[in-house]
A and B are shown apart, each in its own frame.
Chain A
Amino acid sequence: MSLTHQGHFKHPKPFPYLTGMAYIPRWIGGVMCYVVFGIGGLLSSLTILPVLRFWPGSKQQRIARVQKAVHYMFKGFVWMLTFTGLIKVSAPNTQALADAKGMIVIANHPTLIDVVVLISLIPNAGCIVKQSLWRNPFMRGVLSSAGYIPNRGAELLLKDCQQVLNDSTNLIIFPEGTRTVVGTQINPFARGAANIAIRTRTDILPVLLHVDVAGLTKQQPWYEPPRQTVNMSVEIGAAFDQLRYDINQTSDAKMARVLTRELEQLYSQQITALPPLSATTKK
């Protein structure tokens, strides 16, 4: 099966690499993005999000409202990231993401802002968020009112995921676990996404994020915004139907291993098939 729509993927033209004075506006813009993200998170959790959260309606309606608000805020944030030249997103065929209901959306994880880009394309997205972020005052309000899931250990996690998926939220998971190490195609996949999909009988929608230069990676400090605008293309593959999980008639633990291998192979093939990354330093 193929993840990409067209056989011949063409990179957009790479952006210039900024040096000297030309980098100053980029640097200011980049740092402003962090400031706006933090302040936006804090202010919205004190203003609009509580209103949406406590406005009458069922629990699902209220969570769906907040998810939609976060979706629009992240659309705005992607606009800011584009305006300041950090990134240029090309997502021409992403209707499937806008239409998805109660699916597990998986993606590779090249940059810091992958989840922002994905949520800007998915009006009803949920995520599993590590415990440390729940203690972050800038983020906590958003996380809890959007119905995001804290990782509270395997058993509770599966229950939480099942409930969120039943409410037709799409769960975004990065099987790489953390951002792709610079210089490698993908990190080895952890089995969490496959395990959750198998045990909650959920379809998987694979998304490929392809970037033309390394930028906003885990190896680069946050106060050094990319000198070269990162071209990111978002491509959606064919969904993995949950009925396929039963084919092998094996235990869930084994099936999770089979499925994880399959997914990892799919991603590494797709990324290898694309033109190689252009040099990440000046040319």
Chain B
Amino acid sequence: MKNRDQILEMLTQILVDEFEIEAEDISLDASLYESLDLDSIDAVDLVIKLQQMTGKKIQPEQFKTVRTVEDVVNAIEGLMKD
């Protein structure tokens, strides 16, 4: 079981390593598409990466409403509880 800090750490690592995002730009309220400049294809890659890291299957619908870093953390936290 992972807590929110660990999830955020994991997410930050993915965003920095895979998407050239600066670690200092990443905060809970940062929006993925505007401030972090992800596009829809990146979002697909991010979901795949998160699935690999968590070992959980992520349904695309669960990710549709995700807008900010915090939304991702919440979604992953929800998955880990199931």
Chain A interfacial positions (CB closer than 8 Å to B): 153-155, 157-158, 190-192, 195, 199, 251-254, 256-257
Could you say which of A157, A253, A256 has the most chain B C-beta atoms within 10 Å of its C-beta? Answer: A253
**Which positions 17-39 of chain B face chain A at CB distance < 8 Å?**
18-20, 39
Contact status B41-A158, CB under 8 Å: yes
Contact status B18-A195, CB under 8 Å: no
Chain B interfacial positions (CB closer than 8 Å to A): 18-20, 39-45, 60
Q: Given the complex of chains A and B, what is the CA–CA distance between A190 and B42 in angstroms?
A: 12
Tell me whether A154 and B19 are in contact in the complex, defined as CB-CB below 8 angstroms, given that A252-B45, A253-B45 are known contacts: no
Chain A residues whose CB sits within 8 angstroms of the CB of B39 once the complex forms: 154, 190-192, 195
Q: Given the complex of chains A and B, what is the CA–CA distance between A254 and B42 in angstroms?
A: 10
Give me 14 A-to-B residue pairs in the complex whose CB atoms sit less than 8 angstroms apart, sorted by A's number.
A153-B40, A154-B39, A154-B40, A154-B41, A154-B43, A155-B44, A158-B41, A191-B39, A192-B39, A195-B39, A195-B41, A251-B18, A251-B45, A253-B42
Q: How far is the CB of A256 from chain B (nearest CB, A)?
A: 7
Count: A-B pairs, CB below 8 Å: 33
The binding surface of chain A is classed by DSSP as helix
Chain A residues whose CB sits within 8 angstroms of the CB of B20 once the complex forms: 254, 257
Chain A residues whose CB sits within 8 angstroms of the CB of B44 once the complex forms: 154-155
Q: Given the complex of chains A and B, what is the CA–CA distance between A192 and B43 in angstroms?
A: 13
Q: How far is the CB of B17 from chain A (nearest CB, A)?
A: 8
Identity of the chain B residue whose Cβ is nearest the Cβ of A153 in the assembled complex: B40
Identity of the chain B residue whose Cβ is nearest the Cβ of A151 in the assembled complex: B40
Q: Given the complex of chains A and B, what is the CA–CA distance between A251 and B18 in angstroms?
A: 7
Chain B residues whose CB sits within 8 angstroms of the CB of A254 once the complex forms: 18-20
Q: Given the complex of chains A and B, what is the CA–CA distance between A173 and B31 in angstroms?
A: 27
Q: Given the complex of chains A and B, what is the CA–CA distance between A153 and B45 in angstroms?
A: 13
Q: How far is the CB of B27 from chain A (nearest CB, A)?
A: 21
Chain A residues whose CB sits within 8 angstroms of the CB of B43 once the complex forms: 154
Apart from A192-B39, A254-B20: 16 A-B pairs, beta carbons within 8 A: A154-B41, A154-B43, A155-B60, A158-B41, A190-B39, A191-B39, A191-B41, A192-B41, A195-B41, A199-B41, A253-B18, A253-B41, A253-B42, A253-B45, A256-B41, A257-B19
Identity of the chain B residue whose Cβ is nearest the Cβ of A252 in the assembled complex: B45
Q: Given the complex of chains A and B, what is the CA–CA distance between A199 and B44 in angstroms?
A: 12
Q: Given the complex of chains A and B, what is the CA–CA distance between A5 and B70 in angstroms?
A: 50
Q: Given the complex of chains A and B, what is the CA–CA distance between A154 and B39 in angstroms?
A: 9
Chain A residues whose CB sits within 8 angstroms of the CB of B41 once the complex forms: 154, 158, 191-192, 195, 199, 253, 256
